[in-house]
Structure 1
Amino acid sequence: MTEADTGDAFLPAADELDAVRSALIEWYEADHREYPWRETDDAYPILVSEIMSQQTQLDRVVDAWGDFLDRWPTVEALADAPRSDVVSFWSGHSLGYNNRAKYLHEAATQIVEEYDGQFPDTPEELQELMGVGPYTANAVASFAFNNGDAVVDTNVKRVLYRAFDVPDDDTEFERVASDLMPAGDSRVWNNAIMELGGVACEKTPSCDAAGCPWRRWCHAYETGDFTAPDVPTQPSFEGSRRQFRGRVIETLGEYDDLPLSELGPRIRVDYGGDTGREWLEGLVSDLADDGLVVVNDGDDEPHVSLKQ
């Protein structure tokens, strides 16, 4: 196979591309993991699922997603909610990175106030929403409107690297993913290729057990070399600053207002010394800078509350 044969050195020959595409879509449609957000094309629940799924395992998102939509079933309901309620929900469901809750609330407000409640439907327009980056915008455009580009996440990179020997280079991954996706099929295609990376082409592949539809074309399956690009290691959550930020939010969800001297012992049993008042002031200051809490001067010391 040469680049002249296909127009792309990393894809099968042109006369094989339709078979490659059909094999993946048929495999996906025959059997795939059933997540509730895959059963809708409503942009609002899809956006909620995408924001929740950032750095969070999908199986952990399912219950939180359902509870969130029970509480705020429409984008208008979310926009009308106090931000503090949304942030408290996020922390209470251990979704992490509470800024995502703030941005989701702000995006809902934008949609209601700037778009009359109608979601923009292109990746470029969706990126105008608060907290919606290129990946999330493209995912929502794909799954809600079938109007997206090829999604390239860690799973997709692993698939392309192994199956078609694409080098570990973001530009190449984007280009090959785009060339591979059939025009006008971003909804099913992006779901399918991410599913392939999630259940068959994992870090430890299960090609035969999962019935990988690309075995006949796969470079790794042919050579037995299943190396893949390095995946960044998620820093430990236990004892992290991120964990204590979440505890502050969760605690303030139970108490309308707390002085620092009462907040500290409630978020860590070893409060004091290097993890005492100065440490807590820095933690609270960061949360205030992120628009999640408010610090007010009390009679004797600062008091903290969730931002409404």
Structure 2
Amino acid sequence: MTDALPTEADAAAEFDREAVREALVSWYEADHRSFPWRETDDPYRILVSEVMSQQTQLARVEEAYREFLDEWPTVEDLAAADRSDVVGFWTAHSLGYNNRAKYLHTAAGQVVERGGFPETPDELQDLHGVGPYTANAVASFAFNAGDAVVDTNVKRVLHRAFDVPDDDAAFEAWANDLMPEGESRVWNNAVMELGGVACGKAPRCDEAGCPWREWCHAYATGDFTAPDVPTQPKFEGSRRQMRGRVVGALREGDELELDTLGHRVRVDYAPDGEYGREWLRGLLSDLESDGLVTVDEERASLRR
């Protein structure tokens, strides 16, 4: 255990930053959702995707994004377009808030006039309609020069994983402290993927192979509330869920030693720990009483 957590986040616990970083990036690079804007570092294409994505479902954005770039493939093409055509495209694709189309068209003109895209978050905010979040996203994904992204998904992940208080300054401090220096592109993609795939409002910790289960406060306690999830899910982390995992593991392994079974049920299982043999035997006792499993001193199996 090394490195104190950020004092700005009002936390005193310690953890291994490098292990946390490596686990997340490795998880992301091994398998992640494919979106066309993740396959480019063209700032124009990334800006288009970011403006389209504001409060719009990604499934609808992807189709509109491809068609928009077929119509206006470069920033110069968009700057030269008739604004009414751009707004008409926006309306036809139900992207909402037509002002975004106007702002994007104006921003394209600014980029052409200045001879290229600005590269830092502060400079990108000089473009019309580009606020701090969008500026940071373009800087991160186009130029690898951004700060940590802090959106609703990221706040949820940090709150659950590290028990960060629901405070904007704390979230900013934690997010920036965790992000490896000079790696905003891969890091911000990875942490947002974590929030979108594994740590949504209804968490999918084991199903998605969440790489932070080892350190996660919510996974350890079963409390998956978050700033945007005011009520705790009834099933995730519950005893009922753990019983289901026991049965599932025994179906696959027929008869298993208790410690082998424990590790299949919880990633943080430790024979003498809080989630150890005593905890596991409690689950097995319930299942044995229900006539579902057979247990001896060292092994368990499904009752046939």
Please confirm whether the aligned pair reaches a TM-score higher than 0.5, indicating the same fold. yes
> Alpha-carbon deviation of 1:168?
0.6
The C-alpha deviation readout for 1:245-303, integer Å capped at 9, x for no partner, is xxxxxxxxxxxxxxxxxxxxxxxxxxxxxxxxxxxxxxxxxxxxxxxxxxxxxxxxxxx
The C-alpha deviation readout for 1:151-201, integer Å capped at 9, x for no partner, is 000100000000000011111111110001000100000000000000000
**Secondary structure of the equivalent of 1:210?**
coil
Higher relative contact order, chain-length normalized (CA < 8 Å, sep 6+): 1
2:187 to 169, 186, 189: 189
Between the two proteins, what is the percent identity of the paired residues? 73
CA–CA distance in structure 2, aligned partners of residues 10 and 163 of structure 1: 13
Contact 1:12 1:217 in 2 (8 A): no
Q: CA RMSD in A?
A: 1.8
Contact 1:149 1:178 in 2 (8 A): yes
**Secondary structure of the equivalent of 2:171?**
helix
**Pairing of 1:1-308 with structure 2 (within 5 A):** 5-8=4-7, 10=11, 13=14, 16-113=16-113, 115-116=114-115, 118-230=116-228
CA–CA distance in structure 2, aligned partners of residues 42 and 71 of structure 1: 17
Contact 2:6 2:177 in 1 (8 A): no
One-letter code aligned to 2:72: W
One-letter code aligned to 1:91: T
CA–CA distance in structure 2, aligned partners of residues 65 and 175 of structure 1: 33
CA–CA distance in structure 1, aligned partners of residues 6 and 33 of structure 2: 34
CA–CA distance in structure 2, aligned partners of residues 109 and 53 of structure 1: 21
CA–CA distance in structure 2, aligned partners of residues 90 and 158 of structure 1: 31
Q: Show structure 2 runs of 5+ residues with no match.
A: 231-304
**Secondary structure of the equivalent of 1:25?**
helix
TM-score, reference length from structure 1: 0.71
One-letter code aligned to 1:74: T
Contact 2:46 2:141 in 1 (8 A): yes
**Pairs aligned (count):** 228
CA–CA distance in structure 2, aligned partners of residues 7 and 175 of structure 1: 7
Relative to structure 1, the CA distance from residue 80 to residue 7 in structure 2 (aligned partners, 3 Å threshold; closer, same or farther) is closer
Contact 2:140 2:188 in 1 (8 A): yes
Relative to structure 1, the CA distance from residue 93 to residue 170 in structure 2 (aligned partners, 3 Å threshold; closer, same or farther) is same
**Secondary structure of the equivalent of 1:61?**
helix
CA–CA distance in structure 2, aligned partners of residues 213 and 129 of structure 1: 37
> Alpha-carbon deviation of 1:207?
0.1
CA–CA distance in structure 2, aligned partners of residues 79 and 155 of structure 1: 33
> Alpha-carbon deviation of 1:230?
2.8
**Secondary structure of the equivalent of 1:56?**
coil
One-letter code aligned to 1:59: A
Contact 2:201 2:229 in 1 (8 A): no
> Alpha-carbon deviation of 1:5?
3.9
CA–CA distance in structure 2, aligned partners of residues 55 and 100 of structure 1: 12
Relative to structure 1, the CA distance from residue 153 to residue 45 in structure 2 (aligned partners, 3 Å threshold; closer, same or farther) is same
Contact 1:142 1:186 in 2 (8 A): yes
CA–CA distance in structure 2, aligned partners of residues 11 and 63 of structure 1: 46
> Alpha-carbon deviation of 1:213?
0.1
CA–CA distance in structure 2, aligned partners of residues 171 and 106 of structure 1: 32
Relative to structure 1, the CA distance from residue 88 to residue 191 in structure 2 (aligned partners, 3 Å threshold; closer, same or farther) is same
**Which of these two proteins has the greater Rg computed from alpha carbons?**
2
Relative to structure 1, the CA distance from residue 5 to residue 134 in structure 2 (aligned partners, 3 Å threshold; closer, same or farther) is closer
Relative to structure 1, the CA distance from residue 77 to residue 184 in structure 2 (aligned partners, 3 Å threshold; closer, same or farther) is same
One-letter code aligned to 1:94: S
* 4+ residue runs over 6 A deviation: none
Relative to structure 1, the CA distance from residue 79 to residue 72 in structure 2 (aligned partners, 3 Å threshold; closer, same or farther) is same
CA–CA distance in structure 1, aligned partners of residues 147 and 71 of structure 2: 32
